[in-house]
Amino acid sequence: MKLADRIEGHLRAGDFPLVLGGDCSIQLGASLAMRRIGRYGLAAGGGTPTRPDPDGLLPDELAAVLGTLLASERCVGLNVTIHDPDLDPDATAGALLAGLVVAAFADPS
């Protein structure tokens, strides 16, 4: 409930919440916050930048999805979850993910 309350406050203030970390369960807080305000859709995807998941997104695909979402006036926030530093000892996947998110905000398509 705390996360939902914080996200709701930011949404009502017209902010664009960017929630980093945790696992997929943090989406529950974001979903509850949006539901309290009105009807919103949800886009979710997954993948690992250094070890492609056959069902996940590759870096170029993630960049395209982020660009499309952030360019939409309907996009009101973003959650980035499940980056496990224990599975990324040299931090290359984390750096790639951070770079993709920063680039998407810098130049929404």
Distances (CA, A) of 65 to 4, 11, 44: 25, 22, 10
Give the bridge partners for 20, in sequence order.
80
Q: Block means of pLDDT (10 residues each) for the chain, length 109 residues? A: 94 92 83 90 66 72 90 88 81 88 82
Contacts of 79 (CB under 8 A, 6+ apart): 19, 26, 27, 30
pTM of the model: 0.76
- Where are the alpha helices (H) located in the chain, listed in sequence order? 2-12, 26-37, 59-71, 92-106
CA 54 distance to own-chain centroid = 20
Q: Which domain holds residue 81?
A: 2-106
Domain count of the fold of the chain: 1
- Whole-number pLDDT of residue 46: 61
Q: What is the pLDDT of residue 8?
A: 95
